[in-house]
Amino acid sequence: MKRRTLLKAASAAGLMAAAPWTARSQSPAADSPGWRTFEVTTRLEITQPTGQVMAWVPLPLTQKTAWFETIANSIGGNAEKAEIVVDPIYGAGVAAARFKSGEAQPVVEVTSRFRTRDRLVTMLPGGAQTASAQELAVYLKPTELLPTDGIVSETAIKVTQGVTTDVDKARAIYDWVIENTQRNPATKGCGVGDIRRCWKPAR
């Protein structure tokens, strides 16, 4: 699902009022040291609906890791069709709801149960888990809105001059972003995250 398509559909769906989400924590089970279980409920009430109304609710991490595990997701409300959709590349999950035309008060409520525990990652050389070549390829591959050439690569090379390790390069880029950028919704490309278009006016 492309973010640009989602944004266009969301604006056509009318205003979405999200009731404050609620979270409940349970003590870890005796056989699961360090784990805590949570239940989070998100409720969307679409006001002033017009046309084909659709809504999306982000879900917790779909991948099972050593520190996080989704137990179950459920969808309630009065949607004509509701389903869980998982991005085939990055594994991001959303609850997608589509309401019948003319529904006066579209409502979707998503409840997620998951468990998590603390983790400690050291950034010292050799201390972190090494990603496989396949894992790195997924997250280093450029996309339509996140290119890795042109102004993006030129800026990265300039910012990391004289820096040798991957950790220090990442820190240098992070520091540069914090010091030199700010979110301005009026900037062209900001709404869809088009980084090349966002940077061009300031170059």
Q: Residue ranges per domain, the chain?
A: 3-116, 133-202
> Residue 191: which pLDDT band, with cuts at 50, 70 and 90?
confident
In this predicted model, what pLDDT tens digit does every residue of 127-142 receive, in sequence order?
667 788 998 899 889 9
Residue 134 makes CB contacts below 8 A (sequence gap 6+) with none
Give the whole-number percent of the chain exceeding pLDDT 90.
Answer: 54
**HEC assignment per residue over 7-21:** HHHHHHCCEEEEEEE
With CA atoms as reference, report the closest residue to 99 among 58, 41, 51.
51
pLDDT at 149: 92
Task: Give the Cα separation of 28 and 36 in Å (integer).
Answer: 5
Task: Give the Cα separation of 155 and 179 in Å (integer).
Answer: 14
pLDDT at 123: 74
Residue 25 makes CB contacts below 8 A (sequence gap 6+) with 36, 37, 38
- What letters, b where the CB count within 10 A reaches 16 and e where it falls short, cover 8-39? ebbeebbebeeeeeeeeeeeeeeeeeebebee
Give the whole-number percent of the chain exceeding pLDDT 70.
Answer: 81
For residues 161-176, give the mean pLDDT.
93
For residues 145-163, give the mean pLDDT.
93
pLDDT at 19: 45
For residues 119-129, give the mean pLDDT.
75
> Residue 195: which pLDDT band, with cuts at 50, 70 and 90?
confident
For residues 53-76, give the mean pLDDT.
95
For residues 33-41, give the mean pLDDT.
93
> Residue 55: which pLDDT band, with cuts at 50, 70 and 90?
very high
Task: Give the Cα separation of 10 and 4 in Å (integer).
Answer: 10
pLDDT at 32: 66
> Residue 190: which pLDDT band, with cuts at 50, 70 and 90?
confident
Taking phi first (over 0 means left), then psi (-120 to 50 degrees means alpha), and beta for anything else, what does residue 9 get?
A: alpha
